[in-house]
């Protein structure tokens, strides 16, 4: 008994902004697509290495009742010491550029407050979510608690299945071209988040009409 007492790990003392975020999940109740808030997000990063690279910008927009709330869009630029000049051609964010930036922890506070207990949506979501979880880890915080959907899975579910045509990965550009969507704001976090939100609505509309998509079925695609 004494040994168990002294070996017991102390409960981590998390900051208030994390506790406020975490508390939202105690009362999460969702039943239908139309009364669920989705937050569609995208990140711009210094590269693709989860350990070495950093998030430069997070862009997001929320979707509720089949509508994109553009007026409530989210965008934050993060001050980083790590920099990779090879990625500038992709995202256009250069070191010392005159963009208002915030610290990584303040960016997390703003982001967690924005997303709340919404369902998160991203294109190739594993990358964006992992990069954000790495941010949380650097500040001794747990991983995101939100459920996550990937628009790649949603789009793939709308396609005709064939043994002759195999394509496991769909880029944002390929889907945008198929849906004839404007890609002039590609490779900005806010622009890609908006584009992903449009794709999210298009795919879910197709799936609802053709396959009777429900919120529960979404996570099984």
Per the CB < 8 A criterion, the answer to whether 199 and 175 are in contact is yes
Radius of gyration of the chain measured on its C-alpha atoms: 19
Rounded CA-CA distance 122/196 in Å is 7
Rounded CA-CA distance 134/110 in Å is 16
Q: Bridge-partner residues for 78, per DSSP?
A: 102
Q: Is 82 helix (H, G, I), strand (E, B) or coil?
A: coil
The residue annotated as part of the active site, out of 34, 82, 124, 187, is: 187
Rounded CA-CA distance 125/119 in Å is 12
82 is catalytic: no
Tell me which residues are annotated as active site.
187
């Amino acid at each position: 008994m004494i040994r168990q007492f002294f070996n017991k790990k102390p409960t981590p003392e998390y900051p208030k902004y994390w506790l406020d975020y975490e508390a939202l999940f105690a009362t999460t109740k969702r039943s239908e697509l139309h009364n669920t808030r989705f937050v569609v997000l995208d990140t711009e990063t210094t590269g693709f290495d989860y350990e070495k690279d950093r998030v430069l910008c997070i862009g997001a927009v929320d979707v509720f009742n089949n509508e994109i709330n553009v007026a409530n869009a989210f965008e934050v630029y993060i001050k980083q010491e790590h920099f990779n000049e090879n990625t500038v051609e992709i995202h256009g964010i250069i070191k010392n550029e005159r963009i208002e930036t915030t610290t990584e922890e303040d960016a997390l506070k703003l982001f967690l407050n924005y997303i709340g207990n919404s369902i998160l949506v991203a294109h190739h979501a594993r990358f964006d979510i992992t990069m954000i979880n790495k941010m949380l880890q650097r500040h001794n915080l747990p991983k995101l608690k939100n459920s996550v959907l990937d628009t790649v899975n949603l789009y793939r579910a709308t396609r005709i299945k064939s043994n002759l045509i195999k394509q496991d990965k769909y880029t944002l550009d390929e889907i945008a071209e198929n849906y004839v969507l404007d890609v002039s704001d590609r490779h900005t976090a806010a622009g890609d988040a908006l584009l992903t939100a449009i794709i999210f609505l298009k795919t879910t509309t197709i799936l609802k009409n053709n396959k009777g998509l429900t919120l529960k079925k979404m996570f099984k695609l």
